[in-house]
Structure 1
Amino acid sequence: MRKLPPLHALKAFEATARHASVTRAAAELGVSHSAVSQQIKSLEEHFGQTLFARHGRRVEPTDSARALLEEVRAAFDRIAIASEQFTSQKGSGVITINATPSFAMRWLIPRSSSFQRSNPTISVVVETSASDGIDHLTKGYDFIFRRAPMQSTDHRCQKIIDDLSTAILSPTLAGTLSLGDPHGLMRGILLHMKSRPDAWKRWFEVCDVRLAETPPGPYYEHFFLSLQAAINGLGVAIGPLCLVEDDLASDRLVAPFREFLLPGPGFHVLYPTTTMRSKHHRAFLDALLSEAEKSNNARPL
């Protein structure tokens, strides 16, 4: 059993600290001044130390109580968010998703916006996992997105979008490298991803440039980090065209050799077969498949 202090007393403590006033805290909580004072006293007795210092009519948490206050506020915030999400399920729906950070940031969330605007009562909750694997997931999701096919009992997996990678860099950096052919990229700094350390070597092979070993350059934990470095002119990144569509369209990045494409396994979605019984879930997947078709058909040349 958890050993918790009195929750009403914690509410009084947090409200008093926020208002720097017992009177205002009492008004917010709808109780008397003396009730709040008594709750704070009971909390001080529980912890065996003073929680507030008085400065005239103002009260302020002691230095040691500030650490407690920060954690109490964070806990109340989490409870409030959980309550709101639980309440929002009534009469509406929740779609739970797990994806890798780069795919979530660079494609999934932006391409979900039109569905969310059309279905404001549906909550789309996106969580991320750093690993491409799914065995470590401890709870079920309506949709799981990964850069490879997946298998799970009573689930269906389907490819959602093409995975074709090429070299990308800022226009400013491109102008300094005098790029006549792919080999010229090695005059710049090549940015690598730890999850795909051989990507550059394999891409150069597509360009018919044979390298004895992987070219040097810094390694990043996630694609979106190497991408940001490329946007800021720190080097040349390699990544899927589908994740940089907006950057290419806005000229934040250029792909000087986009005719040379390193094919990958494709981005896939895995979902329980029962998920498609829900019209909201069917509509969500259909919306993403429509966005993916646009991306595949509008691949820059």
Structure 2
Amino acid sequence: MSSRLPSLNALRNFEAAARHRSLTLAANELGVTHGAISRQISNLEATLGVQLFVRGRRPLELTARAATFLVSIQRGFEIIKGASNDLLANTMQNPLRINALPAMMSRWLLPRLHSYPDLDIAFSMATIVEPVMSDVGEVDLFIQAGPSIAPRTRSYKLLDYEIVPFCQPETVNGMPPPRSVDEFRHYALLHFLSAHPVSRPFSHDLWAQWAEAAGLVIDNQVMDYFPTFDLVYEAVLQGKGIGIGASLYIEDDLAHGRVITPVDIRARSSLAYYLVIPEAKINLPKVKRFKEWVLDQSGNSLTII
């Protein structure tokens, strides 16, 4: 008798055939052909050096040694199934770990989480556009600006990045809000400038992109820089100038009149927000559930990059 461990696939084929007492029914259950089942059983008999079925009997009849073997095999499969279920349960009990850019997290994702069925989530903040994928062991998924360039990841488009200026509805720099693009030159322009060199071009270009769409020259414009969008927003509320950012960041504030868009001109950024999932995490139930939910919230289908 060989000491080599039998093929797990051969054992599955044998167990199904023995349980059904039929090669045809076993083949139907496993989605293979009658011949494939027969070959797997023949290979298993060769590996074990033992005849498993009495030849020429219909329905199939196990030999005495095979009947004892079947009980042990079925017990083994139950142990494997139980261990898998325990592992899955432990995985589900751990919080879903999401890494996202701060403004996206606080201004779009968090206000929507009341509709998410599982609130066991742990957040970490990204400070760069493309997250460091060495964090993959600590993070289940990323929400970032732009698709991932890292290997072994899948990117799903969530939202376009539409750039819009906004200001306090009553007083800006001690004056009423501007009524035209030409009047912007009288006001301080506020925007966030990331301290990280990778994401700095992304944050720095917002006013330039919008100004190009609006026909505004801002070469000599007064600029006030802040490290985060939330600080820009607070400065806007204090009337320190006109802010710039993604429209999705201020949609609730616009609806409630806390801020206004002084002119109705918006610019489409070259970037967009993406859900990025490491391939090692793609089939985790908690990741699949969040992916379906967040894509539904964004109104996008499964667009894979």
Alignment TM class, shorter chain as reference? 0.5 to 0.7
Consecutive unaligned residues of structure 1, counting only runs of 5 or more, are 1-87, 295-301
The 3-state SS of whatever aligns with 1:130 is coil
Residue 126 (structure 1) aligned with residue 123 (structure 2): yes
The answer to whether the Cα contact below 8 Å between 1:161 and 1:266 also exists between their aligned partners in 2 is yes
Q: Say whether 1:208 aligns with 2:193.
A: no
Q: Where do 1:39-54 residues align within 5 Å?
A: none
Residue 239 of structure 2 corresponds to which residue in structure 1?
233
The one of 266, 278, 283 equivalent to 1:272 is 278
Distance (whole Å) between structure 2 residues aligned to residue 188 and residue 209 of structure 1: 13
> What does residue 114 of structure 2 align with?
113
Q: Secondary structure at the match of 1:191?
A: strand
Counterpart secondary structure, 2:154: strand
1:97-246 correspondence runs (5 A):
97-115=98-116, 118-120=117-119, 123-135=120-132, 137-140=134-137, 141-173=139-171, 176-177=175-176, 179-194=178-193, 195=200, 196-211=203-218, 213=219, 215-246=221-252
Q: CA deviation at 1:180?
A: 3.0
Q: Which has the larger radius of gyration?
A: 2
Tell me the matched-pair count: 202
TM-score (norm 2): 0.60
Question: Aligned AA for 2:182?
Answer: H
CA distance in 1, matches of 2:153, 2:177: 50
SS in structure 2 of the partner of residue 218 of structure 1: strand
- What runs of 5+ residues in structure 2 fail to find an aligned partner? 1-88, 194-199, 301-305
CA contact (8 A) 1:183 1:209 kept: yes
1:255 alignment partner, SS class: coil
Q: Which amino acid aligns with 2:181?
A: P
Residues 57-96 of structure 1 aligned to structure 2 (within 5 Å): 89=90, 92-96=93-97
User: Percent of aligned positions with the same letter in both sequences?
Assistant: 21
Residue of structure 2 in register with 1:286 after alignment: 292
Cα distance, 1:119 vs. partner? 2.5
Over the residues paired in the alignment, what is the CA RMSD in angstroms? Answer: 2.5
Change in 2 beyond 3 A, CA 1:137/1:278: closer
Q: What is the distance in 1 between the residues matched to 2:206 and 2:168?
A: 19
Tell me the TM-score normalised to structure 1 length.
0.60
Can you list the C-alpha shifts for 1:52-82, whole angstroms capped at 9, x where unaligned?
Answer: xxxxxxxxxxxxxxxxxxxxxxxxxxxxxxx
